[in-house]
Copies of this chain bind each other. A is one copy, B any other.
Amino acid sequence: MANAQPFSFEASFSSSVPPARPRAAIRRGKYDFAVAYADPPSVPLDGLLDSLASAFQDEGKDLAVYPHPQGYPPLREYIAGKLQRDRDMRVGPDDIMVGGGSGEPIGLLIETLIDPGDVVLTENWVYGGTLNTLRRFRADVRGVECDDDGFVPDALESALQKAVGEGKRPKFIYAIPTFQNPQGWTMTLERRQEVVRLSQEYGVPILEDDCYADLRFEGEDVTSLHALDDTGRVMYVASFSKIIAPGVRMGYMAAPPEVLSRAQSVKQGGGANQLAALTVHRYATSGLEDHIGDLKNILRTKRDAMLAALGENFGSAATWSRPEGGMYIWGRLPEGADLVSVQQKVMDDADVGYHTGVQYSPDGVSGKNYFRLCFGYNTPEEIHEGVAKFAEVLDGEGMLRG
Contact = CB atoms under 8 A, between A and B. Distances in A.
Interface in A50-99: 52-53, 56, 60-67, 99
Interface stretch (A111-119, A142-150, A329-337, A354-362): A111-119
B49 A7 contact: no
Contacts of A111: 14, 17, 268
Contact of A5 (B17, B101, B200, B266): B200
Given A4-B231, A247-B65, A270 B101 contact: yes
Contacts of A7: 200, 203-205, 231, 233
Contact of A258 (B10, B197, B230, B276): B10
B103 A270 contact: yes
A275 B246 contact: no
A136 interface: yes
Interface string A5-23: 1110110111111101100
A275 B272 CA distance: 13
A122 B272 CA distance: 28
A165 interface: no
Interface residues of A toward B: which range?
35 or more
A396 to B, nearest CB: 29
A113 B104 CA distance: 21
Contact of A64 (B53, B67, B200, B245): B245
A107 B64 contact: no
Contact of A265 (B6, B21, B203): B21
Interface in A327-371: none
Given A45-B60, A65-B377, 6 more contacts: A39-B64, A43-B63, A63-B245, A103-B269, A247-B273, A268-B268
26 contacts: A3-B200, A4-B231, A7-B203, A7-B233, A9-B205, A9-B258, A14-B114, A16-B16, A20-B258, A21-B265, A38-B65, A45-B63, A49-B56, A63-B245, A66-B246, A67-B246, A67-B247, A99-B268, A100-B268, A100-B273, A101-B269, A103-B268, A247-B274, A248-B275, A249-B271, A273-B273
